[in-house]
Every structure is written in structure tokens, then in C-alpha cells.
Amino acid sequence: MGRYVIGRIGAAAATLFAASIVIFSFIHLIPGDPVSVMLGDAATPEQVAALRERMGLDEPIWVQYLVWAGNALQGDLGRSIFFETPVTQVIADGAETSILLALITMIWIVLFGIPVGILAAIRQGTWIDQGLSGLAMLLASVPTFWVGLYLILIFAAGLGWFPSSGYPSIFEGGGLANLQYLLLPSIALAAPNAALILRLTRASMLDVSREDFVRTARAKGIRPSRVVLRHILRNALLAVVSAFGFTFAALISEAVVTETVFALPGIGRTVVQSILRRDYPVIQGVILVTVCLYLVINLLVDLSYRLLDPRVEL
């Protein structure tokens, strides 16, 4: 087990290193530069060149990489060219929104996906199952931004039940009540992901119900409802829970579109905006952090799987 863990961590570190080089070199391939964005429409080429030089943007790429990587190892991701604040602060600011949005979305996913998935599995083959499976596929086929636009139109602009956009921090005036700003976005974001969890729940339930120990339990004459609850559900949820990790990571990085529609200050939108502004340090920083997040979750999922499922040998 110990050796396995060390091996996995080493592999993750290697992936991270490769990824950092890819990130860095790719970002500097983007045409356009931050300085002309900064100086604006009236600036002349000479002014742009002068400021580029002052900011060290004319150094060779590999020199810039070494400086950046060296600082990153010490936890310093540099300063945003656009905001002129540390990148870590830009990320921290976006992280609150992204994490809370992902958490609330997860709540919807669990509340909807798991019970409905169970229901579909219990009623396997009936019209209820077919209807629910069809519904899941429909939800998975809807673009989140499209749903988002109509949610705003109906529930914010029309009925005025919820705020339309933005998200003031819960640490500011309003406190936890500010979470209502995340309601509509989380519903839009939850739809396709809930569909995936629903299908996964249903499939695992059916898989487990074919296992020997379930058959044994049934043969022993245990009440069917008890078999479902005690034996099938517990084991089926194991697979579902391990999918949560990836869903969570995906919710954080893939929320770009939802964040754009609802003007949420999350990290997805920060990246898109930073790409448009050529704010290299922010793009690099955010992608590096998200890649780390993926790797860590990947590692944890693998390890927990090995710990929880006795059939996987170490």
C-alpha cells in the first residue's frame, strides 16, 4: 500500500511538471499581448514595445518559465498584469464563488439524481424507468447557458423571485442570505450533471443486484425492501460516491459558461477574461491550480476505492 501511494504521488508530480510546461508554452503562443490591451486604443507601437521591455515580457520564453516555476514552487504565482494584485489573491477571490456554486450544485445533484436513480432501478423495465431514463437523457442534452438565460428571464426579470446575477461574498453584508444568488446558476449547472449521477445510480443498483450476496440474501427470504436498502443500496452508492470527486472537480472548472451567463465572479470566468486580456500569470496560475485539483481528487478517488472495495487488490 505504502509503495503504491508513493508511486501514485510521484506519477502525479510528473504529470504536474509536464502539464506546467505545456501550460506555459501554450499560453505564450497566443497571439496578442497584454501590454497593448493595457495601454488601450490610442497607444503607439513604440509605447507598447517600451512597456513590454520594462515588464520583462521580451525575455526568452524559457527564462520566463524558470522564473515562474521557481516562484510557483514557493507558492508565489506572480502578479496579475491586469489587476496588479497577486495571482493567489485573484484565485482565492474566485474560489469562494466556484466552490460554493459547486457545493450547492452537488446538493441538487444528490437530492435529485440518487433517489430518482434508485426509483428507476427498482422499477426497472417499467414505463416509470423508461420515462425517468428518457428524462435523464433530455437533461444531459440541454446546454446550461440556454437554460440559464430562460431561468433569468422567468424567475429573475419576470417574477422577481431571485436575483438575476452577480454574487456578493457571504462574508460581506447580507451574509448567508447571499447564497440565494447562487440558486438559479446552480440549478442550470445541476441539470446535466444530475442526469449523469441518476444514470450511474441506476446502473450500479442493477449491477449490485446481480451479485451473488444479493441473491443469497434474497434466497434466505429477507424482505425485498430490506434487501434493497441494506444490501444493494449501500454497495451501489460506493460507486456513486467515488464519482462525486470528479463531478466536483468538473463543476469547478466547467462552470465557465454558467458563470458568464450569471455574471458570477468564479474562477472559470476569470480564466476566460484573462485569456481575452492576455493576463498570462492569471491563466497559468488558475490552470495550474485546477490541474492540481484534478490530480489530487484522482489520487484520493483511486486510494479510497482501493480501501473501500476489498475486491481490488493492492
Partner 1 sequence: MRYGYPLGATALALLLATPLGAQTLRYATIGEPPSLDIQMGTATLATTIAQHMFETLYAFDGEGVPQPFLATGGEVSEDGLTVKITLREGVMFHDGDEMTAEDVAASLLRWSEFGARAGILGLESAEATGDHEVTLTLSEPNGAWQSILAHPNGGPVIYPADIVSEAEGEPISPENYVGTGPYVFGELRPNRYVELTRFDDYTPLDAPADGEAGGREALFETLQFIPVPDVGTRMSGVQAGDYDYAEYISGDLYGLVAEDPAIQVKISEAPIFGLMFTNSEEGPLSDNIPLREAVLAALDMEQALQVSVGEPELYAVDGAFFPEGSVWHTEAGTEPYNQGDPEKARQMAEEAGYDGTPLKLLVSTNYREHFDQATVFARQLGEAGIETEMVVVDWATLLTLRGQPSEWDLFMTHHGAMPDPVLFTVVNESYPGWWQTDERDAAMAALTETSDLDERVAAWADLQTLIWEQVPTIKVGDVYSFDIASPNLQTPWEDAPAFPHFWGASTN
Partner 2 sequence: MLGYLRVWTRPVVSRPLAALAGLFLIVVLCCALFAPWIAPYPPDQIDPVNRLLPPDAAHLFGTDHYGRDTFSRAVYGARLALLIGVGVVSFALASGVPIGILSALYPMLGRVLMRMVDVLMSFPSLLLALGLIVILGQGVLNAILAIGLIYLTTTARIVYGVALRLRSEPYVEAARSMGAGTLWIVRRHILPNMVSPLLVQASFVFAFAQLGAAALDFLGLGAPPEIPSWGNMLAEERIYITRASWLLLWPGLMIVLTAFSLNVMGDVLRDRMDPRFREMMGK
- With CB under 8 A as the contact rule, the residue among 91, 182, 200, 217 that binds partner 2 is 200
Q: Interaction with partner 2 in 116-145: which residues (CB under 8 A)?
A: 130, 133-134, 137-138, 140-145
How would you label 39-64 residue by residue, b for 16+ Cβ within 10 Å and e otherwise?
A: eeeeeeeeebeebbeeeebeeeeeeb
Stretch that binds partner 1, among 60-68, 84-92, 100-108, 236-244 (CB under 8 A): 84-92
The angle formed by the CA atoms of residues 257, 271 and 278, to the nearest 5 degrees, is 130
Q: Rule CB under 8 A: say whether 141 interacts with partner 1.
A: no
* Cα gap 290→149, rounded to integer Å: 27
* 3-state secondary structure at position 79: strand
Per-residue binding string, partner 1, 283-312, x by CB under 8 A, is ------------------------------
Q: Interaction with partner 2 in 248-277: which residues (CB under 8 A)?
A: 250, 253-254, 256-257, 260, 268, 271-272, 275
Nearer to partner 1, 149 or 296 (CB): 149
- With CB under 8 A as the contact rule, the residue among 24, 112, 162, 248 that binds partner 1 is 162
Stretch that binds partner 1, among 65-73, 122-130, 198-206, 270-278 (CB under 8 A): 270-278
Question: Which DSSP string do the residues of 217-231 spell out, in sequence order?
Answer: HHHTT--HHHIIIII
Beta bridge partners of 79: 86
Q: Rule CB under 8 A: say whether 287 interacts with partner 2.
A: yes
The alpha-helical segments, DSSP class H, found in the chain are 2-27, 34-39, 45-54, 61-73, 87-122, 127-140, 144-151, 183-209, 212-219, 224-226, 234-253, 256-261, 267-277, 280-308
State the binding partner of 268 from partner 1, partner 2, none, CB within 5 to 8 A by kind: partner 2
Amino acid in the structure at residue 91: I
Q: Rule CB under 8 A: say whether 199 interacts with partner 1.
A: no
State the binding partner of 307 from partner 2, partner 1, none, CB within 5 to 8 A by kind: none
